Chain A
Amino acid sequence: MMAVAAGAGLEVRNLTKHFAIGGGLLGPQAQIIRAVNDISFAVPRGTSLGLVGESGCGKSTVARAVLRLIEPDAGSVVFDGIDVRAASGSALRALRRRMQIVFQDPYSSLNPRRTIRQALEEPLWVHGRGSRKDIAEKAETAMAEVGLPKDAIDRYPHEFSGGQRQRIGIARALVLDPELIVADEPVSALDVSVQAQILNLMEGLRARRGLSFLFVSHDLGVVRHFCDRLCVMYLGRIVEQGVTADVLDRPMHPYTKLLRDSSPVPDPKARLVMTRIVGEVPSPANPPPGCTFHPRCPRASGPCFSELPQLVHRTADRLVACHWPEDWPIPA
Chain B
Amino acid sequence: MAATATLVSPRPGTLWTAFASNRLFWVGLVLLAAIIIVAVFAPLIAPHDPLEQNIVVRLEPPSAEFLLGTDGYGRDVLSRLIFGARISLLVGFLAILVAMIIGATIGIVAGYVGGRFDQLVMGLLDVMLSFPTLLLGLMIAAMLGASLQNLIIAIAITEIAPFARVARAPTISLKQRDFVEAGRALGFGPVRIMGVHILPNMISDVIVMSSLWMASAIRTEASLSFIGLGVPPPTPTWGSMIREGFENILDGWWLAVFPSLAILVTVLALNLLGDALRDAIDPKLRGE
Direct A/B contact, Cβ within 8 angstroms: yes
Interface positions of A from 124 to 150, Cβ below 8 Å from B: 126-127, 146-149
Q: Is A271 an interface residue (CB 8 A)?
A: no
Q: Given A103-B182, A123-B186, A160-B8, A111 and B201 touching (CB < 8 A)? A: yes
Q: Is A315 an interface residue (CB 8 A)?
A: no
Q: Given A113-B201, A123-B186, A101 and B1 touching (CB < 8 A)? A: no
Determine whether the beta carbon of B186 is less than 8 Å from that of A122.
yes
A201 CA / B7 CA spacing, docked (Å): 19
Closest chain B residue to A167, Cβ basis: B3
Rounded to whole Å, the gap between the CB of A14 and the closest CB of chain B is: 23
Q: Is A228 an interface residue (CB 8 A)?
A: no
Q: Which residues of B contact A149 (CB under 8 A)?
A: 5
Determine whether the beta carbon of B192 is less than 8 Å from that of A103.
no
A104 CA / B80 CA spacing, docked (Å): 63
Q: Is B234 an interface residue (CB 8 A)?
A: no
Q: Is B284 an interface residue (CB 8 A)?
A: no
Q: Which of B119, B182, B197 contacts A172 (CB 8 A)?
A: B182
A101 CA / B178 CA spacing, docked (Å): 10
Closest chain A residue to B2, Cβ basis: A147
Interface flags for B175-202 (1: CB within 8 Å of A; 0: not) read: 0011101101111100010001100110
Determine whether the beta carbon of A123 is less than 8 Å from that of B119.
no
Q: Can you offer 8 A-B residue contacts whose CB atoms are under 8 A?
A: A92-B187, A96-B185, A101-B185, A112-B201, A122-B196, A126-B186, A160-B7, A161-B8
Q: Is A239 an interface residue (CB 8 A)?
A: no
With most chain A CB atoms within 10 A of its CB, the pick from B7, B116, B119, B182 is B182
Determine whether the beta carbon of A164 is less than 8 Å from that of B3.
yes
Size of the chain B interface, CB-CB below 8 angstroms = 27
Q: Which residues of A contact B288 (CB under 8 A)?
A: 112, 158
Q: Which of B3, B186, B192 contacts A100 (CB 8 A)?
A: B186
Determine whether the beta carbon of A109 is less than 8 Å from that of B179.
yes
Q: Is B13 an interface residue (CB 8 A)?
A: no
Closest chain A residue to B9, Cβ basis: A159
Determine whether the beta carbon of A96 is less than 8 Å from that of B187.
yes
A113 CA / B196 CA spacing, docked (Å): 9
Known: A103-B181, A158-B288. 17 other contacts (CB 8 A): A24-B119, A25-B116, A25-B119, A67-B185, A92-B187, A96-B185, A101-B181, A111-B200, A113-B200, A147-B1, A152-B7, A159-B7, A159-B8, A160-B8, A161-B8, A169-B182, A200-B1
Interface flags for A166-180 (1: CB within 8 Å of B; 0: not) read: 010100100010000
Q: Which residues of A contact B1 (CB under 8 A)?
A: 147, 197, 200-201
Determine whether the beta carbon of B187 is less than 8 Å from that of A97.
yes
Q: Is A44 an interface residue (CB 8 A)?
A: no
Rounded to whole Å, the gap between the CB of B108 and the closest CB of chain A is: 15
Q: Is A105 an interface residue (CB 8 A)?
A: yes
Q: Is B132 an interface residue (CB 8 A)?
A: no
Q: Which residues of A contact B201 (CB under 8 A)?
A: 111-113
Q: Is A93 an interface residue (CB 8 A)?
A: yes
Closest chain B residue to A200, Cβ basis: B1
Q: Given A93-B187, A158-B288, A161-B8, A109 and B182 touching (CB < 8 A)? A: yes
Q: Is A155 an interface residue (CB 8 A)?
A: yes
Q: Is A304 an interface residue (CB 8 A)?
A: no
Interface flags for A19-56 (1: CB within 8 Å of B; 0: not) read: 00000110000000000000000000000000000000
Q: Which residues of A contact B188 (CB under 8 A)?
A: 122-123, 126
Q: Which of B7, B116, B182 contacts A155 (CB 8 A)?
A: B7
A64 CA / B1 CA spacing, docked (Å): 31
Q: Is A69 an interface residue (CB 8 A)?
A: yes
A159 CA / B7 CA spacing, docked (Å): 6
Closest chain B residue to A100, Cβ basis: B185
Q: Which residues of B contact A158 (CB under 8 A)?
A: 8, 10-11, 288
Rounded to whole Å, the gap between the CB of B118 and the closest CB of chain A is: 10
A101 CA / B185 CA spacing, docked (Å): 7
Interface positions of A from 1 to 32, Cβ below 8 Å from B: 24-25
Q: Is A275 an interface residue (CB 8 A)?
A: no
Q: Which residues of A contact B11 (CB under 8 A)?
A: 158-159
Q: Is A88 an interface residue (CB 8 A)?
A: no
Rounded to whole Å, the gap between the CB of A156 and the closest CB of chain B is: 8
Closest chain A residue to B197, Cβ basis: A111
Q: Which residues of A contact B186 (CB under 8 A)?
A: 96, 100, 122-123, 126, 172, 176
Q: Which residues of B contact A92 (CB under 8 A)?
A: 187
Determine whether the beta carbon of A159 is less than 8 Å from that of B10.
yes
